Amino acid sequence: MIEIHGLHKAFGSLDVLRGIDLEIAAGAVVCVIGPSGSGKSTLLRCVNLLEQPTTGRVLIGGTEVTDPECDIDAVRRRIGMVFQQFNLFPHLSALDNVAIAQRKVLRRPRREAGRIARENLDRVGLGDKAAAYPAQLSGGQQQRVAIARALAMGPEVMLFDEPTSALDPELVGDVLGVMRGLAMDGMTMLVVTHEMSFAREVADQVVFMDEGVIVEQGPPAQVIGDPSHERTRAFLARVLNPATAT
Amino acid sequence: MSVSETTEAPPRRTLTRRQRHRLVLGGEYAVFLAVVLAVVLLADWDTVRQNLANWDVARQLFPDIITVGLRNTVLYTLLAYAFGLAVGMVIAMLRLSSVPPYRWFAMAFVEVFRGLPALLIIIFVGFGIPFAFAIEIPGGVVGQITLALGMVAAGYMAETIRAGIEAVPRGQMEAARSLGMSYGRAMRSIIIPQAFRIIIPPLTNEMILLFKDSSLVLFLAVTLEQRELTKFGRDLTGQVGNTTPIVVAGLCYLLITIPLGYLVRRLDARQRRGQR
Ligand SMILES: Nc1ncnc2c1ncn2[C@@H]1O[C@H](COP(=O)(O)OP(=O)(O)O)[C@@H](O)[C@H]1O
Ligand SMILES: [Mg+2]
């Protein structure tokens, strides 16, 4: 479903991604872990071309998005993205947040867009918050509206960039619950996260990134349970056991 | 600091802080009273009332000062505001363009129209353009006024709109693009509505400035029916040999600008409280 070949990304003289190869099968959930600054967000943003890769190819369901001829707006409709900071539209109600792109991009009539928006708000457990504005919602609720907003476009792939990192600990569970449900429904997902228990339970593959390269990848039991690289072990020790970290 | 001065002051006969404060306050009141007295005693009140607040003259001004003067002032302001907003919007978009020549053009436009006196622009549009290019500006004098005042406003508005757009967090554009919106669609549906919320106070302020600048069109060749407040007041002052029309015209301006100014302060305060 997603194919990444020889992906490089540099910001000026800073090489952030230094040759990434990754394939994600349809319906698979891949979790990306790694220290801050290792290029995880940049990788995700290259998949839907929020960042233009320096070299390399990215294919979504067989369409090469890095082809200069590719209609990127058309491809982005097929890729949902959820951000660390939610990025809800503050001037629109939850319902309109979920409906606006359906109406303006997919040209769905107002009523149909509203109905699909409600369905997706129900799906993330916020059917009763349709009229609320983002400022009236908790972080966890905002992030679930953001997920509904992406789902309403009927994406084939969902990208999550640390979706729970900005949340109070007691709100993390609701968001992870929604994501777990999506994974069970067969959504193809590429998830950057520090939630190791989520990765262990839900991921088909875990990718450990450091300094712009994939150091190690495989099933969670292998990468998280029995890592073969020293850098992976050091990272996991810090994440799983912050108190004893040096 | 003053506390330590008073506590550490040697036991000379110095004034306490409170006594000093009273003395200063008393002095200020004394000066104020002296000025009021001087004005009251020195001015020739009958002449002043006769010339500035003459009821008989004031009565004759109505209803024309409202139905012609104030009406045209409001009309010219709104026409120029709409035109300036449209031009300002275009210039702001050019200023944010990724094509350098567009940005240069927008920057030059802003510098020129912010840097020139409004009166010079009005004279240029009214007399310079027809003369130099041998063309008529469509809409006659009203068209000239709209163009001239609109250009005066457009430079400021372009900068205000640009600042508003840049104040919208980057993540908003990214979220909109990630949903498949084009750049233009994201601007129209997501960025600009938020930008305008931010800039409503300065844009309202711009309307107050434009309302006052509209007085400068008295230099153009307006007909009797096209006179706005200032020209109306000046003409009648000349006709009746009395300053009352200017005073009444001034009150008409304040009738609009004071409530608008109040509105701006309200909007500003609401925004500073971070309400949506
Ligand atoms: N737009 C940008 N311009 C310049 N440097 C950037 C930009 N985006 C990210 N970087 C740099 O790229 C590196 C990787 O960032 P990022 O992909 O956000 O890492 P991660 O998500 O793993 O924390 C960091 O050093 C960051 O400073
Ligand atoms: Mg990141």
Query: Which pLDDT belongs to residue B276?
Result: 46
Centre of ligand 2 to C-alpha A38, Å, is 8
pLDDT at B1 over 50: no
**Cβ-defined contact of A88 to B175 (cutoff 8 Å):** yes
This model of the complex carries an ipTM of: 0.93
Residue A39 Cβ inside 6 Å of ligand 1? The answer reads: yes
Centre of ligand 1 to C-alpha A48, Å, is 16
Q: Does A90 touch chain B (CB under 8 A)?
A: yes
Nearest CA owner, ligand 1 atom 1: A11
List the A188-192 sheet strands across, edge first.
Answer: A79-82, A157-161, A188-192, A29-33, A205-210, A213-218
**Cβ-defined contact of B180 to A153 (cutoff 8 Å):** yes
**What is the value of pTM for the model shown?**
0.84
Query: Which pLDDT belongs to residue B52?
Result: 84
Angle at B212 between CA B208 and CA B214, to 5 degrees: 115
The predicted-structure confidence for A191-201, as pLDDT tens digits, reads as follows 999 999 999 99
H-type helices in A60-213, by residue range?
72-77, 94-104, 110-123, 139-151, 169-184, 196-202
The predicted-structure confidence for A15-35, as pLDDT tens digits, reads as follows 999 999 999 999 999 999 999
Which ligand has the shortest distance to the CA of B174? 1
**Cβ-defined contact of B180 to A101 (cutoff 8 Å):** yes
Query: Which pLDDT belongs to residue B8?
Result: 54
Burial A196-216 (b: 16+ CB within 10 A, else e): bebbbebbebbbbbbebbbbb
Q: What are phi and psi of A190, to 5 degrees?
A: -120, 115
Q: Which of B177, B185, B190 sits opposite A89 (nearest CB)?
A: B190
Report whether B196 contacts B206 (CB < 8 A).
Answer: no
d(CA A28, CA A187): 7
Average pLDDT over residues A65-70: 90
**Cβ-defined contact of A73 to B181 (cutoff 8 Å):** yes
B274 pLDDT band, cuts 50/70/90, is low
Sort out which chain B residues have CB atoms less than 8 A from A133's CB and list them.
Answer: 276
Domains in chain B and their CATH numbers? 74-222 (1.10.3720.10)
pLDDT at A124 over 50: yes
**Cβ-defined contact of B197 to A87 (cutoff 8 Å):** no
d(CA B52, CA A236): 85
The predicted-structure confidence for B90-144, as pLDDT tens digits, reads as follows 999 999 999 999 999 999 999 999 999 999 999 999 888 888 888 888 888 899 9
Q: What percent of chain B has pLDDT over 90?
A: 68
Query: Which pLDDT belongs to residue B45?
Result: 83
Distance linking the first and last C-alpha atoms of chain B: 42
Amino acid at the residue B143: G
User: Could you tell me which chain A residue has the CA closest to the CA of B194?
Assistant: A91
d(CA B250, CA A63): 68
DSSP letters along B172-224, please?
A: HHHHHHHTT--HHHHIIIIIHHHHHHHHHHHHHHHHHHHHHHGGGGGGS---G
From the number of C-beta atoms within 10 Å of its C-beta (0-12, 13-18, 19+), residue B52 rates as: middle
Average pLDDT over residues A162-179: 94
Q: What are phi and psi of B260, to 5 degrees?
A: -65, -40
Range of weakest confidence among A71-80, A140-149, B35-44, B191-200: B35-44
Distance linking the first and last C-alpha atoms of chain A: 40
- B180–chain A nearest CA distance, Å: 5
Q: Which of B172, B178, B182 sits opposite A89 (nearest CB)?
A: B172
- A96–chain B nearest CA distance, Å: 11
The answer to whether the peptide bond before residue B63 is cis (omega within 30 degrees of 0) is yes
B15 pLDDT band, cuts 50/70/90, is confident
The predicted-structure confidence for A200-236, as pLDDT tens digits, reads as follows 999 999 999 999 999 999 999 999 999 999 999 999 9
The predicted-structure confidence for B170-228, as pLDDT tens digits, reads as follows 999 999 999 999 999 999 999 999 999 999 999 999 999 999 999 999 888 889 899 99
Residue A38 Cβ inside 6 Å of ligand 1? The answer reads: yes
Residues, CB within 5 angstroms of ligand 2 (ion):
A 41
Centre of ligand 1 to C-alpha A83, Å, is 15
Query: Which residue do the tokens 């003409």 mark?
Result: B235
Which ligand has the shortest distance to the CA of A211? 1
Query: Which pLDDT belongs to residue B46?
Result: 84
DSSP β-bridge partners for residue A32: A192, A207
> Residue B236 carries which DSSP code?
H
Query: Which residue do the tokens 């905002």 mark?
Result: A142
pLDDT at B20 over 60: yes
Q: Does A40 touch chain B (CB under 8 A)?
A: no
Mean pLDDT of chain B: 90
Residue A36 Cβ inside 6 Å of ligand 1? The answer reads: yes
Query: Which pLDDT belongs to residue A241?
Result: 77
Query: Which pLDDT belongs to residue B7?
Result: 54
Q: Does A37 touch chain B (CB under 8 A)?
A: no
Sort out which chain A residues have CB atoms less than 8 A from B276's CB and list them.
Answer: 90-91, 133, 135
Sort out which chain B residues have CB atoms less than 8 A from A73's CB and list them.
Answer: 177, 180-182
Query: Which pLDDT belongs to residue B27?
Result: 92
User: Could you tell me which chain A residue has the CA closest to the CA of B174?
Assistant: A50
d(CA B172, CA B175): 5
Query: Which residue do the tokens 């809409």 mark?
Result: B139
Report whether B114 contacts B51 (CB < 8 A).
Answer: no
Sort out which chain A residues have CB atoms less than 8 A from B175's CB and list them.
Answer: 81, 83, 87-89, 146
- A62–chain B nearest CA distance, Å: 18
Sort out which chain B residues have CB atoms less than 8 A from A63's CB and list them.
Answer: none
Residue whose C-alpha is closest to residue A227's, from A215, A239, A243, A212: A215
DSSP β-bridge partners for residue A9: A17
**Cβ-defined contact of B178 to A79 (cutoff 8 Å):** yes
Q: Given the DSSP bridges, would you call strands A213-218 and A205-210 parallel, antiparallel or unpaired? A: antiparallel
CA distances from B101 to A60, A142, B88, B97, B154 (A): 36, 41, 17, 9, 19
To probe the interface with A, which of B177, B178, B196 has the most A CB atoms within 10 Å?
Answer: B178
Sort out which chain B residues have CB atoms less than 8 A from A100's CB and list them.
Answer: 189-190
Q: How far is CA A80 from the centre of its chain?
A: 8
Q: Which of B175, B182, B276 sits opposite A87 (nearest CB)?
A: B175
Comparison of pLDDT for B248 and B276, the residue scoring more: B248
Q: Given the DSSP bridges, would you call strands A157-161 and A55-60 parallel, antiparallel or unpaired? A: unpaired
